[in-house]
A and B are shown apart, each in its own frame.
Chain A
Amino acid sequence: MTQGLTLEEVREFVEKSLSSKIPRSVVEELISVLSRYLDKLTIEDLMKIVKSVEEEYNENLVDPGEPVGIVTAQSIGEPSTQMTLRTFHYAGVRELNVTLGLPRLIELVDAKKVPSTPLTYVYLEEPYKYDRDKAMEIARKIELTRVANVVSRVDIDLVANAIILSLDPDMLRDKGVDVDTVIQVLRKSIKKADIAVNQENPYEVVIQYKEPINPLKAEKIRDRILNTKLKGIKGINKVIIQRRGNEYVLVCEGSNLRELMDVEGVDHRKIRTNNIKEVEEVLGIEAARTLLIEEIANVLEEQGLEVDIRHIMLVADMMTRTGSVKQIGRHGIAGSKESPLARASFEVTVKNLADAAVRGGVDNLKGVAESVIVGNYAPIGTAIVKLVYNPYIKVE
């Protein structure tokens, strides 16, 4: 047996004979697989392989007319009946709850503005990446810290006209805040009071109001103080540091892409959130599409349900094709169909009919639902064929 071919020869041959006929990814894969067998490969084998690759690809192509939409809907809908409803699951992060399973899937196809459990994975850049302390630094910087987070006790003294905050030294250290910053922030937000540290206890902040506190409003005042932002980014409620391989990643509850990407030390190329609408606004529709595909695939895979990626891609394409993320349902794709009959047969029947009447709407009966209603063949599958053979016509 003659000893094999070189990689270059193989590459050249494969490229020449296949690159115009089959997708790039397959060509690459074939070459990489072949490279493992170089020593055994003969030119005859190579020709045989190339031929059967081409044949098999043509064999595996979709049939024109295939109702891919319906197949897709079924392929996602059918396994979803087998999903567990358990909303909360630990997705690697024991500290955070993540919505998964059917509720998350519904949330995705609903194109909800904010997911019920928004999450952001913040990857870090060089100096911060491998150092836990430096990662911690960023985590402290971005985590939204309110006064409530560092206070252990609030007293409202109506006689002395003061509100006394007892700060928790442990929490202060944990959040990286000192008493001075608390006082400064409070001074900025509260204009009508003197703020100072209690002389006897360095962890007690006294907010001395000039005017008497209205007892009825005391609750409100307290809440406003507690909700005052000390530092961090709006929306990032909790940050957890996680080790992945040899680098540290910040997992944040909540999302705020625009501001997070601006933070020094954050790798803006790798940052990732599960908030589709936000990605659409910040990074654009293509990014939203990609994220949508990944999120849906992720939900299905986590439940151990295999669904071909093509189906998920079709759903995502349909949702994003107008340039903005549209919901699957009456306020999105189904609601913006041209055909009044198709809309009426889905939801809000009477309203859609009235609308069609007012506008003098026309239904061209091109879609599936309309065709079924009037009793025509639906233009899908075998019915897209318009060529009919007439055996009675004589050919000269």
Chain B
Amino acid sequence: MTVTEEEKIVSMIKFGILSPEEIRKMSVVEVKSTETYDEDGLPVPHSVMDPHLGAIDPGHICPVCGNSIKGCPGHFGHIELALPVINVIFIKYIYDVLRAVCANCGRLKLPQKDIERGLKYYRKLNERHPYLARRFSEYIKKRAIKTTVCPHCGYKQPKLKLTKPITIEEYNEETRSYIRLNPLVIRSRLEKIPNEDVELLGFDPQESRPEWMILTVLPIPPIAIRPSIMIETGIRSEDDLTHKLVDIVRTNERLKEHIVAGAPQIIIDDLWELLQYHVTTYLDNEVPGFPPAKHRSGRPLKTLAQRLKGKEGRFRGNLSGKRVDFSARTVISPDPYISINEVGVSVEVAMKLTVPEKVTEWNIEELRKCVINGPYKWPGANYVVTPDGRRIDLRYVKDRKSLAESLAPGYIVERHIRNGDIALFNRQPSLHRMSIMGHIVKVLPGRTFRLHLAVCPPYNADFDGDEMNLHIPQTEDARAEARELLKVQYHILTPRYGGVIIGGLQDYISGAYLLTVKTTLLTKEDVMELLSSAGVVKELPEPAILSPRELWTGKQIVSLFIPPDFNYHGKASISAGHLKCEDIECFWDSYVVVRTGKLLMGVLDKKSIGAEQQDSFFYFLVKEYGADFAVNFIDSVFRMFIRILEKKGFTLRLDDVAIPEKAKNEIIQMLMESFKKVQEYVDQYVKGVLEVVPGRTAEESLEIKILEILAEARDKAGEIAVGYLDPFNHAFIMARTGARGNVLNLTQMAATLGQMTVRGERIWRGYMGRPLPHFSVNDLGPIARGFIVNSFYSGLSPTEMFMHAAGGREGLVDTAVRTSQSGYMQRRLINALMDLYVEYDYTVRDSSGSIIQFLYGEDGADPAKAPHGKPINVERIVERVIGWKL
């Protein structure tokens, strides 16, 4: 058997049970030696380490296939078991078949006519509806089990019982007790069943005869799947499977000897049971009812079933997901001066990640330079692959110049990644497709990955120590797909609801507000500086103010970047409270109007340019002018927003949340009033005259009412505090524009923290009748139940601090619990839906071609492109043609 280079595509996999003959046929050696190594440390022939089982040491040649370690796939051996044992994995099926079949004649316990008819039906069903065929055979089995007298031979069926792990017992009429059936008996019964009956029970008689579920021959897996490891001291440590196999061989040999020697039946039975135990634990070491086989250290052995099972098992850990090369991981940090499509990669990383590039006439000079630079100088190369398939490691090439000279078309150079290469960038948890996007590599100094701030929302990234992964696609197909489908610009609109997921955030929003607010007037120098930060040269419009100095408004500057046929109107984030505006007639500048590409009114803030906003100014720009335009917009206009912040200076300081003495008194007075009301309710409750909410107890009603009053009190306190804040107070600007924080945060900093809750209730747990020993027992007042009068500015009292901690902890626990739950739900959803796709006729189908929906989403529209669940935005189309004529 030699390895060929031919590529083959697996088209089908058939499952079955190996028959003893098959096991013997594929075996290269019968294992019967209990010793594994002789004194010289060489593997003993006919042991579980027999060299025929495959070459594992480098340099060894496999005696079976003649390959070295590289080409030898490993070969199976076998053990001839002295007595048959049950295969635990099939115990349920063995039990079912035994019950469905006559103990005497081995026929399925149904009338001959039914069997014939059923078989015909079953075969037909199996062709088109395997799932139904399975249900049918399930039904047949149930019917047969119920039959107590064999319709074929008239034998009265004894009762069978399955006791815990693997013992099947039969009721004996004479002794009036259950007698254990040994595997020999079971096997002989299973052998008697004719193929037709077996088929009707859901088996495939060609691939899985029921008697093969009883092992008479055990295959020995190749050494390659159970390699021994050498510890430094030179002591060999064997794999768990090998340990188990040795146990089996040893028990088997002893059993054989005893049988030959004619030992008493008790001894043989004991050994037989031991053999059964070893084989069972070899197959599955977590069988309930069997003590798990342990390693010398006391650690349970990891045997066959354990290797397949679970998250780190073969299936989920190695087959469905694999480890990859050409990847890198490091801390991320922000860089507002790269494009959203780019990722900053450090030179160190760039020198480890490579792209295979075929040498052609056109790139040969470039690649020669790479080869000469070698693996330790960027941009260099790490390997050269010659046309005959030899890989040359440039680390060990002394004369790279001559190697570079010898390059010719047909060579492949694995060169370092450089600016312009495509990479996949990912942050875990990868919850949606925007968690892995294509970025253009930009090699930068420093040791972190750099990314643009606007792509933080789709990755859900921040820079408090987050790490991200980078992958370099290695084939031309992969690179083409990455560039055409995965690049960040194609993911500005999320398929979740068709809104922008990439857009302005935090400082971009504060900046946009400060630039477009009415009070901002810019001199020619300012304008030039802003435009240069955006990286554009544009003719300036006529200044808004001509004398005494030429001054421009921020709106004029932003308008330079809006396409001339663009129209938009909508509310701004600051449109709230007394600045509220519903339409174009807006005194407060909180209604955004764009006409023919000019920002006429309104400030830009979160509602207009923010990420995860719907029907915003930025959304329509993206939708109507495309991804390239959007990238350009972010890479130019957004930089201006940052620059204006840098020019004006924008920070948050303690004084920003300080409120005057007068306000404080007002708040305290208001709180006292609320407390009084609470006290009234408490008094009513104590007297038992409290008005009860229907369907609630008096106690619950009291709590509901108190919570309502106190929540209202906090809101009022917030209103008072905010009323005293300067409208251009930086903290307040951030809250109003939606850049960061909200009025509640401001309230908590400036006025009062309000009521702390745990599970939606006021805090009452702790001591008997009181949460902390500082309060009197059964004090139902606000302070004793976790209302915090102080603000973060004024500082918390000791008792308040504990209350706050209790409320805060709930949030932490909540997140921890929730992530695991929603993660599992998502895994299930993915698993249930992953095969669905849209066919060319717009039907949704699964992998077998069955139709799930006749027209995707009942209108065939793509949720990423369709706004608000409707296939098109009719309103806007009509407005575009008619409305803006005015």
Using a CB–CB distance below 8 Å, which chain A residues touch chain B?
A: 22-23, 25-26, 29-30, 33-34, 37, 40-41, 45, 48-49, 52-53, 56-57, 59-81, 83-86, 88, 94-96, 102, 105-106, 109, 238, 240, 306-311, 313-315, 317-318, 321, 328-329, 332-334, 336, 338-342, 344-346, 349-350, 353-354, 356-369, 372-376, 379-382, 384
How near does chain A come to B289, taking the closest CB pair, in angstroms? 16
B284 interface residue per 8 A CB criterion: yes
Please tell me which stretch of B9-17, B257-265, B292-300, B448-456 contacts chain A, meaning at least 4 of its Cβ atoms lie within 8 angstroms of it. B9-17
Beyond A34-B878, A318-B852, is A84–B814 a contact (Cβ under 8 Å)? yes
Contact A23 B859 (CB under 8 A): yes
Q: Complex formed: what's the CA distance from A233 to B10 in Å?
A: 60
Contact B819 A240 (CB under 8 A): no
B826 interface residue per 8 A CB criterion: yes
Contact A313 B858 (CB under 8 A): yes
How near does chain B come to A197, taking the closest CB pair, in angstroms? 29
- Chain B residue contacts of A68, Cβ below 8 A: 836-838, 844, 856
Q: Complex formed: what's the CA distance from A22 to B859 in Å?
A: 8
Cross-interface CB contact of B131 among A66, A336, A376, A379, cutoff 8 Å: A336
- Chain A residue contacts of B833, Cβ below 8 A: 69-70, 72-73, 314-315, 318
Contact A48 B840 (CB under 8 A): no
- Chain B residue contacts of A368, Cβ below 8 A: 834-835, 847
What is the chain A residue whose CB lies nearest that of B308?
A349
- Chain A residue contacts of B842, Cβ below 8 A: 61-62, 64
Q: Complex formed: what's the CA distance from A306 to B494 in Å?
A: 11
Q: Complex formed: what's the CA distance from A57 to B859 in Å?
A: 10
Contact A334 B831 (CB under 8 A): yes
Beyond A29-B874, A358-B93, A359-B204, is A350–B11 a contact (Cβ under 8 Å)? no
A to B CB contacts below 8 Å, 8 in the list: A56-B877, A60-B862, A63-B838, A73-B829, A75-B495, A77-B830, A310-B863, A349-B310
Contact B814 A85 (CB under 8 A): yes
Cross-interface CB contact of A334 among B204, B213, B832, cutoff 8 Å: B832
Beyond A60-B861, A60-B871, is A333–B308 a contact (Cβ under 8 Å)? no
How near does chain B come to A3, taking the closest CB pair, in angstroms? 14
How near does chain A come to B428, taking the closest CB pair, in angstroms? 12
Q: Complex formed: what's the CA distance from A160 to B835 in Å?
A: 72
How near does chain B come to A150, taking the closest CB pair, in angstroms? 16
Contact B12 A69 (CB under 8 A): no
How near does chain B come to A249, taking the closest CB pair, in angstroms? 15
How near does chain B come to A17, taking the closest CB pair, in angstroms? 14
How near does chain A come to B882, taking the closest CB pair, in angstroms? 5
B743 interface residue per 8 A CB criterion: no
Q: Complex formed: what's the CA distance from A310 to B786 in Å?
A: 44
Contact B862 A62 (CB under 8 A): yes
How near does chain B come to A88, taking the closest CB pair, in angstroms? 7
Beyond A71-B495, A240-B694, is A88–B760 a contact (Cβ under 8 Å)? yes
Contact B832 A318 (CB under 8 A): yes
Given A83-B818, A106-B821, 18 additional A-B pairs, CB 8 A? A33-B874, A53-B874, A64-B838, A66-B862, A73-B830, A81-B431, A109-B829, A314-B844, A315-B833, A328-B829, A333-B832, A342-B831, A357-B90, A359-B202, A363-B12, A366-B835, A368-B847, A379-B847
B866 interface residue per 8 A CB criterion: yes
Beyond A314-B844, A350-B89, A357-B15, is A384–B614 a contact (Cβ under 8 Å)? no
B595 interface residue per 8 A CB criterion: no
- Chain B residue contacts of A30, Cβ below 8 A: 874, 878
How near does chain A come to B562, taking the closest CB pair, in angstroms? 21
A-B contact count, CB below 8 Å?
333
Q: Complex formed: what's the CA distance from A49 to B310 in Å?
A: 57
Contact A375 B10 (CB under 8 A): yes
Q: Complex formed: what's the CA distance from A336 to B130 in Å?
A: 10
4 A-B pairs with the lowest CB-CB distances in the bound complex, closest first: A360-B204, A77-B826, A69-B836, A310-B857
B269 interface residue per 8 A CB criterion: no
What is the chain A residue whose CB lies nearest that of B199?
A360
Cross-interface CB contact of A240 among B695, B846, B858, cutoff 8 Å: B695
Cross-interface CB contact of B837 among A102, A308, A380, cutoff 8 Å: A380
Beyond A74-B826, A354-B93, A358-B93, is A376–B848 a contact (Cβ under 8 Å)? no
Contact A329 B828 (CB under 8 A): yes
What is the chain B residue whose CB lies nearest that of A350?
B305
Cross-interface CB contact of B485 among A332, A333, A358, A382, cutoff 8 Å: A382
Contact B839 A64 (CB under 8 A): yes
Q: Complex formed: what's the CA distance from A314 to B836 in Å?
A: 10
- Chain A residue contacts of B93, Cβ below 8 A: 354, 358
Contact B315 A349 (CB under 8 A): yes
Q: Complex formed: what's the CA distance from A368 to B823 in Å?
A: 20
Q: Complex formed: what's the CA distance from A76 to B10 in Å?
A: 34
Q: Complex formed: what's the CA distance from A332 to B859 in Å?
A: 28
B535 interface residue per 8 A CB criterion: no
B208 interface residue per 8 A CB criterion: yes
B319 interface residue per 8 A CB criterion: yes
How near does chain B come to A367, taking the closest CB pair, in angstroms? 4
Please tell me which stretch of B39-47, B226-234, B337-345, B496-504 contacts chain A, meaning at least 4 of its Cβ atoms lie within 8 angstroms of it. B496-504
Q: Complex formed: what's the CA distance from A342 to B835 in Å?
A: 10
How near does chain B come to A148, taking the closest CB pair, in angstroms? 16
- Chain A residue contacts of B826, Cβ below 8 A: 73-74, 76-78, 80-81
Contact B495 A356 (CB under 8 A): no
B696 interface residue per 8 A CB criterion: yes
- Chain A residue contacts of B832, Cβ below 8 A: 69, 73, 318, 328-329, 332-334
Contact B90 A354 (CB under 8 A): yes
B822 interface residue per 8 A CB criterion: yes
Q: Complex formed: what's the CA distance from A59 to B694 in Å?
A: 55
Contact B874 A362 (CB under 8 A): no
Q: Complex formed: what's the CA distance from A238 to B131 in Å?
A: 43
Contact A74 B881 (CB under 8 A): no
- Which chain B residues (52-104) contact chain A, with CB distance < 8 Å? 89-90, 93
B862-886: contact bitstring with A at CB < 8 Å (1 yes, 0 no)? 1101100111111101101111010
Cross-interface CB contact of B869 among A308, A334, A361, cutoff 8 Å: A308
What is the chain B residue whose CB lies nearest that of A330?
B828
Q: Complex formed: what's the CA distance from A70 to B430 in Å?
A: 13
How near does chain B come to A328, taking the closest CB pair, in angstroms? 5
Contact B825 A77 (CB under 8 A): yes
Q: Complex formed: what's the CA distance from A102 to B814 in Å?
A: 11
What is the chain A residue whose CB lies nearest that of B91?
A354
B313 interface residue per 8 A CB criterion: yes
Contact A52 B837 (CB under 8 A): no
Indicate the member of B17, B829, B883 with the most A CB atoms within 10 Å. Answer: B829
- Chain B residue contacts of A353, Cβ below 8 A: 15, 308
Contact B881 A345 (CB under 8 A): no
Q: Complex formed: what's the CA distance from A307 to B589 in Å?
A: 32
- Chain A residue contacts of B835, Cβ below 8 A: 69, 366-368, 380
Beyond A64-B838, A96-B695, is A79–B90 a contact (Cβ under 8 Å)? no
What is the chain A residue whose CB lies nearest that of B844?
A68
Contact B10 A70 (CB under 8 A): no
Q: Complex formed: what's the CA distance from A30 to B877 in Å?
A: 9
B481 interface residue per 8 A CB criterion: yes
Beyond A77-B826, A315-B829, A353-B308, is A345–B821 a contact (Cβ under 8 Å)? no
How near does chain B come to A228, taking the closest CB pair, in angstroms? 22
Q: Complex formed: what's the CA distance from A115 to B861 in Å?
A: 33
Contact A318 B871 (CB under 8 A): no
What is the chain A residue whose CB lies nearest that of B759?
A86
Q: Complex formed: what's the CA distance from A306 to B831 in Å?
A: 23
- Chain B residue contacts of A48, Cβ below 8 A: 881
Contact B837 A345 (CB under 8 A): no
Contact B830 A70 (CB under 8 A): yes
What is the chain B residue whose CB lies nearest that of A380?
B837
Beyond A306-B496, A376-B9, is A33–B878 a contact (Cβ under 8 Å)? yes
Contact A306 B497 (CB under 8 A): yes
Contact A81 B818 (CB under 8 A): yes
Contact B874 A363 (CB under 8 A): no
Contact B834 A70 (CB under 8 A): yes
Q: Complex formed: what's the CA distance from A22 to B134 in Å?
A: 43
B158 interface residue per 8 A CB criterion: no
